[in-house]
Amino acid sequence: MTDFSRFPPTELRDFLKAFGWHTLPEGLSDRLYVMENNQFDGRQLVFPMDDDYPDYGDRIGLIFGKFSEIHNKRIDDVVFLAQTAGDDKIALQFQSRRGDDSFLPLNYVVSAVSAAQQMLLSSACTILHPQLHHPRLSRGEAQQFIDNTRFRHTDQGSFVINISSPVFALDLQPPLIEDGDASEPFVRRAIASMQEGVSNLVRAIEDDSLDDYVNRIRSDDRPELSSNLCEALTRFDEEESVDSVVLSVDWAMILPPTNTAVRRVTIKKAYFPRIEEVWREL
């Protein structure tokens, strides 16, 4: 049973804003969020601005029920969306050639989760200090990133590993990031860096331009790809029955992305030997 009292008022407000609801100023003086949506004339969502309000959890539960009715969504789905509205989400889908996607060998899953962690650590280190190879992935800021990352429920169908990280989990100051760019949160930049590096690598394999891509990476003062990330990808090839791995991202609803980076990339089994070559070359 969901404990609705655990949803902070400001986070619920931001979640609703992502669906087009806006706050009416007249309710603020009474310590109430009164929200309307231009798509639903005459409908309002009203809830306390303070979580110590009497029966706060019951009031929030009513808001979720009303929202579910208005948007024609299952309340369980709405609760999950609200819980992850501030997270950048990553899904790794393992497509099997054996025709049974209901399981994967335990040893492979353990290795795959470890590989996913290495991907994130590598990308975080690339944001902090871009280089072809990171001798250590134990930088404090990168470890903070991992400490704030969550393992989510797996999806039905093809086996899916879901992980997410609150987009504002780390408040790193520009001096800690070499280019000093503070336009996006560190978590968003790290996950975007990972997705961009993997998608560009796969595109180079498919376009038969891998040699040119690797040469460009090697000559770049701020390489987008590291050997550590490539090594992590090769670990997904440890199970013979896995035919491909689909890496996808879903950005936090409360912070839409500022670019049009590829959100979904399929790494086919035939690509892994080429990725291993890049890993060893870098």
pTM here is 0.84
HEC letters along the chain: CCCHHHCCHHHHHHHHHCCCEEEEHHHHHHCEEEEEECCCCCCEEEEECCCCCCCHHHHHHHHHHHHHHHHCCCHHHHHHHHHCCCEEEEEEEEEECCCCCCCCCHHHHHHHHHHHHHHHHHHHHHHHCCCCCCCCCCCHHHHHHHHCCEEECCCCCCEEEEEEEECCCCCCCHHHCCCCCCCCCHHHHHHHHHHHHHHHHHHHHHCCCHHHHHHHHHHCCCCCCCHHHHHHHHHHHCCCCEEEEEEEEECCCCCCCCCCCCCEEEEEHHHHHHHHHHHHHC
**pLDDT digits 0-9 by tens, 69-111:** 999 999 999 999 999 999 999 999 998 876 666 778 889 999 9
**pLDDT digits 0-9 by tens, 146-192:** 999 999 877 655 688 899 999 998 875 544 555 545 578 899 999 99
C-alpha–C-alpha distance, residues 36 and 23, integer Å: 7
Q: Are 199 and 174 in contact (CB under 8 A)?
A: no
Please state the length of the chain: 282
Mean pLDDT, rounded, for 256-282: 89
Q: Are 114 and 277 in contact (CB under 8 A)?
A: no
Mean pLDDT, rounded, for 192-199: 94
What pLDDT, on a 0 to 100 scale, did the predictor assign at position 19?
Answer: 95
What pLDDT, on a 0 to 100 scale, did the predictor assign at position 176?
Answer: 52
What pLDDT, on a 0 to 100 scale, did the predictor assign at position 153?
Answer: 77
**pLDDT digits 0-9 by tens, 104-155:** 888 999 999 999 999 999 999 999 999 999 999 988 889 999 999 999 877 6
**pLDDT digits 0-9 by tens, 210-236:** 999 999 999 999 999 999 999 999 999
Mean pLDDT, rounded, for 22-49: 94
Query: What is the residue-averaged pLDDT of the chain?
Result: 90
